[in-house]
Homo-oligomer: A and B are copies of this chain.
């Protein structure tokens, strides 16, 4: 299990909390934060809910290991994946200011999260200089990330979307210290399709086609990036 982290390493925290946004450098200073609030660790089995939409909002959740998807419900009741979150990223920020969570959060694999009680975070922000700005920056980064995906989804055809998705996954993989050339997709084709706003058959076809062109190789959820440059070109062009 190359993705699981030794729990003993959680004592010392030279960590930064990254926003999901691609190409963003804003991050929370966890070291400063942890001196001012008590975090609760929680373990989750694959498929288990971190929280449900509608549950009372009390805390932000920092992913310590593993990965999650967040999903909303359309008016007619279908599920729609709004984001994938991995180690070092925050879940729940979009629920700030609401009484309850605005989305569902589900573990894609066995994972561990840290609960950051929101009132405590706010109190800490008042004391720790710079934390306020960092929180604002993290929220703004989340907005930019969403905008960035809206841009992609509205501009690009199905295949480039999949290419862009792979590039994003690779980049985040690299940020966590893993290989950007070889990684495992933790989510199903259906989840990817839902996130990219296409059908899962189309995702399959796109992946197959990208493999045919030797940009990548795919075997089920295992992805190898053979030609990163080619992928990037694919993701901007039509």
Contact = CB atoms under 8 A, between A and B. Distances in A.
Interface stretch (A96-104, A180-188, A223-231): A96-104
Interface string A91-127: 0011111100011000000000000000000100110
Interface stretch (A138-146, A168-176, A206-214): A138-146
B140 A133 contact: no
Contact of A155 (B74, B135, B140, B148): B74
Interface in A11-35: 26
B132 A94 contact: no
Contacts of A122: 132-133, 136
A149 interface: yes
A153 interface: yes
Interface in A61-99: 72, 74-76, 78, 80, 82, 93-98
A147 B146 contact: yes
Contacts of A40: none
A96 B140 contact: yes
